[in-house]
Homo-oligomer: A and B are copies of this chain.
Amino acid sequence: MKRPTIKDVAKLAKVSVATVSRALNDPETVKEETRKIVLEAVDELGYDPDPVAQALRSNKVKSIAIIVPNITNAIMAEMTRGAHEELADNGYNTVLFNSDDDFQQEVHYCQILQNTMVDGAIFVTGSGETPPVENISNDLAVCLINREIEDDKVDQVLADEKEGLQLLCYHLHKLGHDKIAFITGLATTTATQRKIAGYKEFIEEAGLKFKENYIISGHWTMNGAYMAMKELLGTEDKPTAVIVGTDTMALGALSAVRDNGLSVPEDIAVTGFDNAPGGEYYHPPLTTLKYPNYEMGQLAARAILNRLKNPQIAKKSIKLPLDITVRKSCGFRLDFAGKNNR
Decide yes or no whether A3 CB sits under 8 A from chain B: yes
Interface-side segment among A7-15, A49-57, A154-162: A49-57
With A3-B139, A74-B72, A281-B222 known as contacts, the answer to whether A80 contacts B96 (CB < 8 A) is yes
Nearest B residue to A248 via CB reads B278
Is residue A94 within 8 Å, beta carbon to beta carbon, of the partner chain?
Answer: yes
A305 proximal to B (CB < 8 A):
no
**Which residues of B have CB within 8 Å of A50?**
115
A323 at interface, CB cutoff 8 A: no
Q: Is A78 an interface residue (CB 8 A)?
A: yes
Q: Does A307 have its Cβ within 8 Å of any Cβ on chain B?
A: no
Q: Which of A201-209, A237-245, A252-260, A265-273 interfaces with chain B?
A: A252-260
Contact A71 B74 (CB under 8 A): no
Interface string of A291-331 (1 = CB under 8 A from B): 00000000000000000000000000000000000000000
Q: Looking at the complex, which one of B52, B78, B222 makes contact with A117 (CB distance below 8 Å)? A: B52
Return chain B residues, CB-CB under 8 Å to A53: 56
A61 within 8 A of B: yes
**CB pair B84 A78 closer than 8 Å:** no
Q: A22 on the interface (CB 8 Å rule)?
A: no
Which residue from chain B places its CB closest to the CB of A51 in the assembled complex? B117
A227 at the interface (CB under 8 A from B): no
A: number of interface residues (CB 8 Å): 49
CA distance A252 to B278 in the complex (A): 8
Contact in complex: A71, B84 (CB < 8 Å): yes
How many copies of this chain are found per oligomer? 2
Given contacts A3-B139, A255-B283, contact A77 B71 (CB under 8 A): yes
Residue in B48, B51, B61, B81 whose beta carbon sits within 8 Å of that of A98 in the complex = B81
In contact, A72 and B63 (Cβ under 8 angstroms): no
A148 on interface, CB distance cutoff 8 Å: no
Q: Which of B52, B77, B283 is in CB contact (< 8 Å) with A72? A: B77
Q: Is the CB of A115 within 8 A of B51?
A: yes
Q: A110 CB to closest chain B CB, in angstroms?
A: 14
Using CB atoms, name the residue of chain B closest to A59. Answer: B52
Q: How far is the CA of A77 from the CA of B276 in the complex (A)?
A: 15
Residue pair A114, B48 in contact (C-beta under 8 Å) = yes
Bound-state CA distance A23–B70 (Å) is: 38
In the assembled complex, the Cα of A28 lies from the Cα of B252 at a distance in Å of: 57
* Alpha-carbon separation in the docked complex, A97 to B93 (Å): 8
- The distance in angstroms between the C-alpha atoms of A78 and B81, with both chains bound, is 15
- Does A251 reach chain B (CB closer than 8 Å)? yes
User: With A72-B77, A115-B48 given, is the CB distance from A95 to B55 under 8 Å?
Assistant: no
Chain B residues with CB below 8 A from A97, complex form: 84, 88, 94
Please name 17 further chain A to chain B contacts, defined as beta carbons within 8 Å, in addition to the given A63-B117, A72-B81, A74-B74, sorted by A numbering: A50-B115, A51-B115, A52-B55, A52-B61, A53-B56, A71-B77, A71-B80, A71-B81, A71-B84, A72-B277, A88-B97, A93-B117, A94-B95, A94-B97, A222-B281, A255-B283, A283-B283
12 A-B pairs within 8 Å (CB atoms) are namely A49-B115, A51-B115, A52-B56, A52-B61, A53-B56, A66-B96, A72-B74, A80-B96, A81-B98, A94-B95, A222-B278, A222-B281
